[in-house]
Chain A
Amino acid sequence: MFRSIWSTLAGLLIEDGQLAIGALIALAITWGIAYSGGDQGRDVSGWLLLVLVLALVVANLYRAGVNVRARVSSARR
């Protein structure tokens, strides 16, 4: 069980580290805007988080795709 918890944590923080860090930054930005922006900040916080997370996912996957393409190209050579 502990090995499974460790592998999940390692997967989250090491394999998908950039995604996890990006998500934490998105959460922090949302929290900051919700608290500093008053009622208006709170009202848009959810939509802002949604946009940030979607941008993060697409950017992360694009990068993963580019990395895989580079690895395949170098393996072919």
Chain B
Amino acid sequence: MDPITLAIHATPAFVASAVEFVEATTIVLAVGVTRGWRAPLFGTLAATATLAIIIATLGVAIVTIVPELLLKGVVGSLLLLFGLRWLRKAVLRFAGIVAVHDEELIYQREVAELRAQGLKRKEFDWVGFLVAYKAVLLEGTEVAFIVIAFGAAGGTALTAATVGAIAAGFFVVALGLALKQPLTMVPENWLKFGVGAMLCSFGVFWFAEALGMEWPGDALSIPLIVLTFLVASWLAVRMLRALLPEGARVEARNV
């Protein structure tokens, strides 16, 4: 696999998956710190096994059975729809209209809820198991979607996207295990902004390819499209900040 293909398909999958893994890690850490590690680790393992089954059956079937152009068309449309939603929310966050995603706050809320539920020392902690299982399964399903979306071209692209997601998983889990606290140093809001732009860019790229368009430089066009989305989004942030003065932006979150 040449380095350019690897960079184009593995990097977006790495970044997008890292965001999802950070969210799952926050929940698992909250469960582990409050209720002990046995149940959340079993929950995480069970969710990982469930995901492996889903990807091995559904994911592989989709990528191998569905014709490439149809897959690119469908995945491109879905990426655009979901990417636009991410990008819109990211722009509203950066403009100060929607509260920024705060991993520390989510962690503290989760810890408080879990403590409130109590713990019976002699029994297996099913609450801890289920909370961890659900968090890992939900965020993992999004990672699976990201891998299939960024690897929609099949072959090397799919391999690169898978490698990117697995690398993100190892990186985030290792960081979580080493620190044993929410990963607040990960610039999640910035990553989400970038991921929104990347999802939209891949959506435009795949959909046009499905229609038979040949992009100049093939996959090398993707960074240019991403840059266009980022510039337009940043201009939109500035436009919104100009529309709403500082005080009004704070009030807007409470309206």
**Is B204 a contact of A50 with CB atoms below 8 Å?**
yes
**Is B88 a contact of A19 with CB atoms below 8 Å?**
yes
**Is B88 a contact of A60 with CB atoms below 8 Å?**
yes
**Is B213 a contact of A65 with CB atoms below 8 Å?**
no
Please tell me the size bucket of the interface on B. Answer: 35 or more
- How far apart are the CA atoms of A19 and B91 in the complex, in Å? 14
B148 at the interface (CB under 8 A from A): no
Known: A57-B232, A58-B232. A30 touches B84 (CB 8 A): no
- Main SS at interface, chain A: helix
Shortest beta-carbon distance from A27 to chain B in Å: 6
A58 proximity list for chain B (CB < 8 A)? 232, 235-236, 239
A62 proximity list for chain B (CB < 8 A)? 236, 239-240, 243
**Is B211 a contact of A54 with CB atoms below 8 Å?**
no
B229 proximity list for chain A (CB < 8 A)? 54
A65 proximity list for chain B (CB < 8 A)? 95, 97, 239-240, 243-244
B134 proximity list for chain A (CB < 8 A)? 1
**Is B138 a contact of A4 with CB atoms below 8 Å?**
yes
Known: A68-B244, A71-B252. A46 touches B87 (CB 8 A): no
Shortest beta-carbon distance from A62 to chain B in Å: 6
Please tell me the size bucket of the interface on A. Answer: 35 or more
**Is B85 a contact of A11 with CB atoms below 8 Å?**
yes
Known: A1-B141, A27-B207, A66-B243. A72 touches B252 (CB 8 A): yes
- With A23-B80, A27-B77, A58-B232 given, can you name 8 additional A-B contacts, CB distance below 8 Å? A11-B85, A16-B85, A42-B211, A57-B87, A57-B233, A61-B239, A65-B243, A75-B251
Q: Which residues of B contact A (CB under 8 A)?
A: 77, 80-82, 84-85, 87-88, 91-92, 95, 97, 134, 137-138, 141, 200, 204-205, 207-209, 211-215, 221, 225, 228-229, 232-233, 235-236, 239-240, 243-244, 248, 251-252, 255
22 contacting pairs across A/B (C-beta < 8 A):
A1-B137, A11-B85, A16-B88, A20-B85, A24-B81, A31-B211, A42-B211, A43-B214, A44-B213, A46-B211, A49-B208, A53-B80, A53-B200, A54-B229, A61-B240, A62-B243, A64-B97, A65-B244, A68-B248, A69-B243, A69-B248, A72-B252
